[in-house]
């Protein structure tokens, strides 16, 4: 027989179970956008798209675009994802590190897939196509891809040879010299971009069309001057990177880190922004004139667009990245400028840049510089 005390204990147990901490629901939402097919010639294809859109992360979501180019990935859990757009006969495009918080719809920027330059018919051995080709993609001052990539002139420096891009962004050189040459990319409304040491094949021995490689890239991103402006409010030396280090063999190395703080205007939500800093011993420091160390690229993600972590590091030592620049300029004034550019989603690790093989300077398209401030480098370091 169950007494009243047993019933009371049972009721308390049921109450305890029902009042446990509930599991928070996972935030879900939709991710939408548009993707178009861009043939090598003619208009953008807006019919029979059937482009596969795949979102991958902790889970995978897949859909197919409709004739208007629109697509929706529904009931997506919050998380960090990569997205890939693909269709047979076209060059796939991917974007990484898409941070989705759920609870709404995230609208992605419009994407265009270039038609692949392939030889559909068997090669004609009596009439070999020995052209070389490349791709250029245009972006406006907002960091958005244009739908028409035509009218870009690509010139082989030191020659009179120029190719002009078609709407899809493809350009051809019918004639070209063999060897390594700098090229200049130009278009009205854009700042010229010089890319060093592009390899052109021997047209005599070439068996079919050949795609050009632009250092580490197959597509040139040609970007307008951005409509954002950086301002440096202050520069300082980081106390955590300002010391003398005693090595195992008893030798000593010095390290220093200069960092700037400021803001980017206008503020607000939008695409993320890359920042980097250049330093030199003259007030005309710029992306074209700075010391020989590599800039560090920082992604700005907050809507207020304030920053305090853009930096340049120097250290002596045995590594290939070690520099004595801060020792050679100890006690002297040096000058700092910060640059900004849109993160257009091509590479989440770094923005697209080319390199001058002589001085190792980075060459970028579509960046805007700040005011210049100066700081005096120290003559004494603290022992770590």
Task: For residues 46 and 161, state if they share a domain.
Answer: no
Per the domain annotation, does 305 fall within a domain?
A: yes
Distance CA 155, CA 182 (A): 9
Q: What is the pLDDT confidence band of residue 183, given thresholds at 50, 70 and 90?
A: very high
How buried is 8 (Cβ within 10 angstroms: 0-12 exposed, 13-18 middle, 19+ buried)?
exposed
Q: Is the pLDDT of residue 218 over 80?
A: yes
- Which of 90, 89, 50 lies closest to 69, judged by CA? 50
Task: For residues 376 and 239, state if they share a domain.
Answer: yes
Is the full-model pTM beyond 0.75? no
Q: Which of 223, 253, 285 is the last residue of a domain?
A: 223
Per the domain annotation, does 275 fall within a domain?
A: yes
Task: For residues 187 and 205, state if they share a domain.
Answer: yes
Tokens representing 29? Answer: 């939402």
Task: For residues 52 and 81, state if they share a domain.
Answer: yes
Tokens representing 63? Answer: 């859909």
> What pLDDT sits at residue 18?
44
Per the domain annotation, does 155 fall within a domain?
A: yes
Please tell me which of 7-11, 184-188, 284-288, 307-311 the model is most confident about, judged by mean pLDDT.
184-188
Please tell me which of 29-38, 133-142, 323-332 the model is most confident about, judged by mean pLDDT.
133-142
Q: What percent of the chain clears pLDDT 90, i.e. is strictly above it?
A: 35
Q: Is the pLDDT of residue 340 over 70?
A: yes
Per the domain annotation, does 358 fall within a domain?
A: yes
Per the domain annotation, does 35 fall within a domain?
A: yes
Phi and psi torsions of 324, nearest 5°: -105, 15
> Domain tally for the chain?
3
Please tell me which of 111-125, 161-175, 201-215, 326-340 the model is most confident about, judged by mean pLDDT.
161-175
Q: What is the domain range of residue 310?
A: 229-383
Q: What is the pLDDT confidence band of residue 17, given thresholds at 50, 70 and 90?
A: very low
Per the domain annotation, does 140 fall within a domain?
A: yes
pLDDT, average across residues 243-271: 75
Task: For residues 210 and 275, state if they share a domain.
Answer: no
Over the chain, what is the mean pLDDT? Answer: 81
> What pLDDT sits at residue 24?
58
Q: Which secondary structure element, helix H or strand E, spans residue 86, and what is its range?
A: strand 79-86
Distance CA 100, CA 119 (A): 40
> What pLDDT sits at residue 113?
84
Whether omega for the bond prior to residue 129 falls within 30 degrees of 0, making it cis, is: no
Task: For residues 244 and 366, state if they share a domain.
Answer: yes
**Range from 96-100, 160-164, 269-273 carrying the lowest mean pLDDT:** 269-273
Per the domain annotation, does 18 fall within a domain?
A: no
Task: For residues 289 and 359, state if they share a domain.
Answer: yes
**Range from 123-127, 279-283, 299-303, 328-332 carrying the lowest mean pLDDT:** 123-127
CATH classification of the domain holding 188:
2.60.40.4130
Distance CA 322, CA 253 (A): 10
CB atoms within 10 A of CB 285: 21
What is residue 352's three-state secondary structure?
coil
Q: Which of 181, 200, 223 is the last residue of a domain?
A: 223
Task: For residues 278 and 217, state if they share a domain.
Answer: no
Contacts of 205 (CB under 8 A, 6+ apart): none
Task: For residues 300 and 319, state if they share a domain.
Answer: yes
240, 267, 376 from 380: Cα distances, Å: 15, 39, 12
Distance CA 356, CA 35 (A): 35
pLDDT one-digit tens code per residue, 354-374:
999 888 889 999 999 999 999
Distance CA 213, CA 195 (A): 11
DSSP string, 279-313: EESSTT-BTTB--SSPPPPEEE--TT-EEEEEEEE
Contacts of 147 (CB under 8 A, 6+ apart): 36, 38, 44, 110, 112
Task: For residues 219 and 235, state if they share a domain.
Answer: no
Contacts 24+ apart (CB under 8 A), 158-163: 158/182
Task: For residues 271 and 356, state if they share a domain.
Answer: yes
Per the domain annotation, does 356 fall within a domain?
A: yes
pLDDT, average across residues 202-211: 86
15, 117, 212 from 205: Cα distances, Å: 84, 20, 16
Q: Which of 169, 204, 223 is the last residue of a domain?
A: 223
Task: For residues 247 and 373, state if they share a domain.
Answer: yes
């Amino acid at each position: 027989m169950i007494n009243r005390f047993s019933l009371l204990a049972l009721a308390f147990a049921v109450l305890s179970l029902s009042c446990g901490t509930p599991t928070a629901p996972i935030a879900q939402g939709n991710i939408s956008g548009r993707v178009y097919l861009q043939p090598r010639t003619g208009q953008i294809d807006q019919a029979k798209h059937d482009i596969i859109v795949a979102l991958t992360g902790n889970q995978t979501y897949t859909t197919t675009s409709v004739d208007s180019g629109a697509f929706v990935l529904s009931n997506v859990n919050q998380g960090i994802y990569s997205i890939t757009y693909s269709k047979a006969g076209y060059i796939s495009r991917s974007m990484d590190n898409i941070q989705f918080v759920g609870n709404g719809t995230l609208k992605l920027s419009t994407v265009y897939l270039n038609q692949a330059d392939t030889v559909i018919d068997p090669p004609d051995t009596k009439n070999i196509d020995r052209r070389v080709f490349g791709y250029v993609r245009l972006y406006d001052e907002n960091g958005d891809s244009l739908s028409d990539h035509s009218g870009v002139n690509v010139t082989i420096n030191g020659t009179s040879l120029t190719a002009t891009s078609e709407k899809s962004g493809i350009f051809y050189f019918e004639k070209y010299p063999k060897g390594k040459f700098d090229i200049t990319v130009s278009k009205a409304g854009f700042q010229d971009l010089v890319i060093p040491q592009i390899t052109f094949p021997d047209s005599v021995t070439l068996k079919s069309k050949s795609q050009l490689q632009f250092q580490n890239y197959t597509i040139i991103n040609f970007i307008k001057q951005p409509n954002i402006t950086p301002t440096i409010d202050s520069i300082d030396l980081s106390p955590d990177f300002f010391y003398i280090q005693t090595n195992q063999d008893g030798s000593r190395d010095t390290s220093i880190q200069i960092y700037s703080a400021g803001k980017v205007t206008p503020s607000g939500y939008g695409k993320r922004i890359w920042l980097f800093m250049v330093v030199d011993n003259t007030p005309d420091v710029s992306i074209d004139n700075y010391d020989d160390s590599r800039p560090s690229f920082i992604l700005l993600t907050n809507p207020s667009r304030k920053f305090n972590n853009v930096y340049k590091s120097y250290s002596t030592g045995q590594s290939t990245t070690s520099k004595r620049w801060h020792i050679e300029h100890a006690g002297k004034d040096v000058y700092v400028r910060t640059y900004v550019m849109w993160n257009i989603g091509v590479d989440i690790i770094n923005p697209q840049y080319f390199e001058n093989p002589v001085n190792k300077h980075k060459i970028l398209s579509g960046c805007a510089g700040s005011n210049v401030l100066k700081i005096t480098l120290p003559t004494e370091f603290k022992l770590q």
